[in-house]
Structure 1
């Protein structure tokens, strides 16, 4: 390779790096102070899986003390990430159905377009009980094809749960998990109505088992692009289900090489004693990395 060719290769690499830095991945989560350690583990996994990426972390919360946010802010600073905590004023939910069953935090992700800065046009919402083990860039760059959201459905070995949820909510599409959501914020500002969400919640209170997820499916399921759960929202409880469903393809090597988002769904969590599912040891690994990082 001559000097001119080498110069062109170097220039192309610089341009690619600059383009990627200009398109920083925007990540949103919502939680209370008890889940801040989970957020730190999530951040460690994001950084480890894509060290060349830069990102901004947006945290919508109801009043976490500033001193409790400091460890997260330091970690983000060390990683080169922006950290943007947003305390949501309770007056924004005057007139909304709010109770122990329907806390105001359940509305945060669906109403994020109205709380995030207008210069943001898309964002990737992640629940804090997640590990990222491969790059998020392909999901971030997904063409939403005019939809409000992209999300995955956890259908399992049979369609029974899917069919039950369709019957319960009166829908005819897959039942989407709201733990991973790619969101078009611009379309959301135009098409999502907070009052419509509050009215639906009030009118269908008896039918809502997982309120925010049920609202997503009932009101916006037809405006949601389905993505592959085995890659973008892998239910960490169900390794054997994925293995069977894939005809043996999605074994552990496949998961580690292809799955980007491991989601620790359900009440049992890998940071609790007695967790029995096989990805618990991987979570422990990232917990240890987080302690070393922080």
Structure 2
């Protein structure tokens, strides 16, 4: 399996936990890392983690110099957010497909069916965003040039048809689109990909990208029974003491098994401390 990640230093530990959860169900994994801000020491540490804990191989690919003048926000501050779009152009031409996963994900079952599916002449496969029909997303779709009935997918889980993507879409056209839509982009790379792939995306079952936000609509038993990919969209994340859901259990179960005992203890100390402060 070819796995693609794109992270900055603040998501290094969650990415490790995500990859550990993936390799519980999959062997022979090649991890392609698109990066710019990670240090050599952080990359070496990640490589050792993948070897020792995941039995996986790391292939770092520096993307420094790309997306240096793209729209960002106080929440999304670094251009790594856009790097998944570079996969067709920076990864080896020998690769025919790659699975991109966000760092805020836990794998809860086999991805073989999703990974090995036929693209049916589409450039990628993804899952509809859980909130595609709310008013602000419907308005956003219109601004992006999508019709109301067009799908709006979540870019946190994407299977790229690398050969067809790079054949049909030029990188300079992507950059031109970002510049054209820069005042419109709300979810940044996700908006760009939806605009690019509106007629060339294969839509898949929600079990392959189960978004857990808002928390009050999620059941731990339902998630564990139905979801192959558990995606902690929104804020706060399950490693934050401010997390107000029940699904942090699944994240920390994998984190503990991956060796992050100190992080787990620190998390609960802060969480319990904040809860005591709330009582006062």
TM-score bin (small chain): 0.7 to 0.9
Q: Residue 111 of structure 1 corresponds to which residue in structure 2?
A: 86
For 2:195 and 2:131, the matched residues in 1 are separated by 20
Q: Which residue of 278, 282, 287 maps to 2:246?
A: 278
Normalization by structure 1: what TM-score? 0.79
Greater C-alpha Rg: 1
> Where does the alignment leave 5 or more consecutive residues of structure 2 unmatched?
263-280
For 2:132 and 2:37, the matched residues in 1 are separated by 41
Q: Which residue of 27, 33, 39 maps to 1:59?
A: 33
- Contact 2:20 2:258 survives alignment (8 Å): yes
SS of equivalent to 1:152: strand
Alignment deviations for residues 115-165 of structure 1 (CA, whole Å, 9 cap, x no partner)? 001111100000011100111111101111110011111235965455233
SS of equivalent to 1:266: coil
User: CA distance change for structure 1 residues 33 and 239 in 2, over 3 Å: closer, same or farther?
Assistant: closer
For 2:174 and 2:132, the matched residues in 1 are separated by 32
- Contact 2:255 2:261 survives alignment (8 Å): no
Q: Which residue of 7, 12, 37 maps to 2:13?
A: 37
Q: Which residue of 122, 129, 133 maps to 2:108?
A: 133
For 1:238 and 1:227, the matched residues in 2 are separated by 21
SS of equivalent to 1:207: coil
For 2:216 and 2:132, the matched residues in 1 are separated by 10
Which one has a larger percent helix, Structure 1 or Structure 2?
Answer: 1
Shift of 1:189: 1.4
Count of residue correspondences: 256
User: CA distance change for structure 1 residues 100 and 225 in 2, over 3 Å: closer, same or farther?
Assistant: closer
> Where does the alignment leave 5 or more consecutive residues of structure 1 unmatched?
1-24, 243-250
For 1:110 and 1:217, the matched residues in 2 are separated by 11
The answer to whether the aligner puts 1:142 opposite 2:110 as a matched pair is no
For 1:63 and 1:268, the matched residues in 2 are separated by 23
Shift of 1:272: 0.5
Alignment deviations for residues 148-197 of structure 1 (CA, whole Å, 9 cap, x no partner)? 01111123596545523322322121111111100000011101211111
The answer to whether the aligner puts 1:98 opposite 2:66 as a matched pair is no
Q: Residue 75 of structure 1 corresponds to which residue in structure 2?
A: 49
